């Protein structure tokens, strides 16, 4: 018996990206037919382009559906079709930069991001303060979104109350009733709460709650500013004491109480650091106990 096996093709949206071959350092920017490494590189880039095209076709196109049209304006809520630009240029009236865009029904994208993430993306060049601020507002809205909607919470509370109506009118003590009700409420709310994948992996895999290649030092500049202003304001006879409500840590040194503030640390810094400016002092110095 003859059997034909046809391997089913897996779309690139369901596969992982293939890493590129090593760059041929001997022929940078060239394609030498006789060089194996050059050809490998060339073939990979050909495949890259086809793959990006297919991912964009499968996931970045907008198709208007019933829910996306705004009946008031009879237009698409996602603002499709978008304007196209034959070439990158500056809008003469607003001065905004319009990047080259050929497809009215595609989200903006970047080839490499599409190739690596293999899904729908929306990559935008943020060139104005307003655009950056609204993007930050949009993202923080997502991050700080309460996991439970208010109406869901009330619904949960109502359900727990209804389920326990008999128990509540029974003759258990008030203390016991409250205790049981609270436990049930907390359990139900926990079940209802959805958490994002990054948060779940944070707990399960012990990841950090943020990613950065920097370490930061917090620095409250107001007390330093007050201290510096004092020199001028005191000479003008203004009452600056009210403004100077700095926090002072009181420490016991040799049975004496001593007020310690970061401002004083800087003012009375060792004389070898006389030339050190405040910025350097903050980010370079650490405070340790002697001995």
Q: Does 106 bind Zn ion (CB under 5 A)?
A: no
Q: Measured from the CB atom, is 37 or 230 closer to Zn ion?
A: 37
Residue nearer to Zn ion on the CB measure, 80 or 281: 80
- In the chain, DSSP finds a helix count (H) and a strand count (E) of 10, 6
Q: Is 204 helix (H, G, I), strand (E, B) or coil?
A: helix
The secondary element (H helix, E strand) that includes residue 258 is strand 256-260
Q: Is 104 in the site for Zn ion (CB under 5 A)?
A: no
Min CB(195)–Zn ion separation in Å: 30
Residues in the chain: 291
The DSSP string of 180-239 is HHHHHHHHHHHHH----HHHHHHHHS---SS--S--------HHHHHHHHHHHHHHTT--
Task: State the Cα–Cα distance between residues 274 and 280, nearest whole angstrom.
Answer: 12
Interface segment toward Zn ion; rule CB under 5 A; list 78-86, 183-191, 198-206, 261-269:
78-86
For residues 195 and 143, give the distance between their C-alpha atoms in angstroms, rounded to a whole number. 11
> Is the Cα dihedral 182, 184, 190, 192 positive or negative?
negative
Question: Applying CB under 5 A, does 61 fall inside the site for Zn ion?
Answer: no
Q: Among the candidate windows 38-46, 47-55, 89-97, 101-109, which touches Zn ion by CB under 5 A?
A: 38-46
| Beta carbon nearer to Zn ion, 23 or 116 | 23
Structure tokens at 67: 């829910």
Question: Whose Cβ is closer to Zn ion: residue 38's or residue 263's?
Answer: 38
The smaller minimum CB distance to Zn ion, of residues 38 and 160, is found at 38
41 part of the interface to Zn ion, by CB under 5 A: no
Rounded CA separation 163/184 (Å):
10
**Smaller CB separation from Zn ion, 70 or 176:** 70
Number of residues that bind Zn ion (CB under 5 A): 11
Does residue 27 belong to the site contacting Zn ion (CB under 5 A)? Answer: yes
Verify binding: residue 39, Zn ion, rule CB under 5 A: no
133 Cβ neighbours under 8 A, 6+ residues apart: none
64 lies in the binding site for Zn ion (CB under 5 A): yes
Residue owning tokens 């128990």? 167
Strand partners, 61: 106
Select the residue interacting with Zn ion from 23, 50, 68, 126 (CB under 5 A): 68
Of the candidate spans 67-75, 159-167, 230-238, 250-258, the one that interacts with Zn ion by CB under 5 A turns out to be: 67-75
38 lines the binding site for Zn ion (CB under 5 A): yes
* Coil/strand/helix, residue 254: coil
Secondary structure class of 19 (helix, strand, coil): coil
Q: Which stretch binds Zn ion (CB under 5 A): 35-43, 51-59, 152-160, 162-170?
A: 35-43
Q: How far apart are CA 98 and CA 78, in angstroms?
A: 19
Binding region for Zn ion (CB under 5 A) out of 66-74, 110-118, 166-174, 223-231: 66-74
Q: Which stretch binds Zn ion (CB under 5 A): 34-42, 47-55, 90-98, 142-150?
A: 34-42
Binding site for Zn ion (CB under 5 A): 24, 27, 32, 35, 37-38, 64, 68, 76, 78, 80
């Amino acid at each position: 018996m003859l059997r034909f096996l046809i391997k089913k093709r897996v779309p690139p949206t369901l596969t992982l990206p293939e890493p590129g071959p090593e760059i041929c350092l001997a022929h940078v920017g060239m394609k030498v037919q006789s060089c194996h490494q050059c050809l490998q590189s060339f073939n990979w880039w050909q495949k890259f382009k086809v793959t990006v095209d297919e991912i964009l076709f499968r996931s970045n196109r907008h198709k208007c559906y019933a829910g996306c049209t705004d009946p008031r304006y009879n237009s698409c809520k996602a603002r499709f079709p978008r304007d196209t630009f034959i070439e990158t240029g500056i809008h003469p009236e607003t001065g905004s930069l319009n990047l080259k865009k050929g497809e009215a029904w595609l989200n903006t994208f970047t080839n490499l991001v599409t190739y690596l993430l293999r899904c729908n993306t929306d990559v935008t060049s943020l060139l104005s303060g307003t655009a950056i601020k609204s993007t930050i507002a949009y993202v923080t809205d997502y991050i700080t979104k309460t996991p439970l909607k208010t109406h869901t919470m009330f619904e949960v509370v109502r359900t727990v109350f209804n389920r326990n109506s008999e128990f509540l009118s029974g003759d258990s003590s008030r203390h016991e009733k409250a205790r049981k009700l609270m436990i049930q409420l907390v359990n139900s709310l926990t079940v209802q709460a959805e958490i994002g994948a990054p948060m779940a992996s944070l707990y399960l895999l012990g990841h950090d709650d943020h990613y950065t290649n920097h370490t930061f030092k917090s620095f409250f500049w107001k007390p330093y500013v007050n201290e510096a202003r004092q020199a001028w304001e005191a000479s003008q006879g203004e009452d600056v004491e009210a403004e100077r409500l700095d926090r002072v840590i009181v420490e016991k040194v040799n049975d004496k109480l001593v007020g310690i503030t970061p401002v004083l640390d800087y003012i009375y810094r060792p004389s070898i650091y006389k030339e050190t400016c405040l910025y350097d002092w903050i980010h370079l110095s650490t405070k340790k106990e002697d001995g």
